[in-house]
Amino acid sequence: MLRTLSALFLSFFLFTGLGGAEVLYLRDNLRKAQKGDYIVTCQSKTYSLLYVQEKNNGQIAIQEINIPTSKVPAKDFSWRNWMAQGAPGSTSRVLYSIDLETAQILNNYCLSQDGWRETRVEDNFLPTLLNLRLEIIPWNQRRRIGSSGLPNPNDKRPAWQPKVVVDGQVVPQVTLDAWRAVWPKDGSDLSGKTIEAYLPQENSNFPAYFPYWLQVNGMLGNAKIRIVDSGRNL
Contact 13, 52 (CB under 8 A): yes
Q: Which regions of the chain does DSSP assign to beta strands (E)?
A: 23-24, 38-43, 46-56, 59-68, 92-99, 105-110, 115-117, 134-136, 165-166, 169-170, 176-182, 194-200, 213-217, 223-231
Which segment of 73-77, 169-173, 218-222 scores lowest on mean pLDDT? 218-222
**How many other β-carbons are positioned within 10 Å of the β-carbon of residue 155?**
15
Digit-coded pLDDT (tens) for 154-165: 777 888 999 999
Name the pLDDT band for 59 (thresholds 50, 70, 90).
very high
Say what percent of the chain tops pLDDT 70.
82
Digit-coded pLDDT (tens) for 184-198: 888 877 889 898 999
**What sign has the CA pseudo-torsion 24, 30, 35, 41?**
positive
Q: What does pLDDT average to over the chain?
A: 82
Between CA 143 and CA 194 the distance in angstroms is: 15
Between CA 97 and CA 106 the distance in angstroms is: 5
Confidence (pTM)? 0.80
Count of structural domains, the chain: 1
Question: Residue 90's domain spans which residues?
Answer: 5-231
Pairing of strands 176-182, 134-136: antiparallel
Q: What pLDDT score does 5 carry?
A: 46
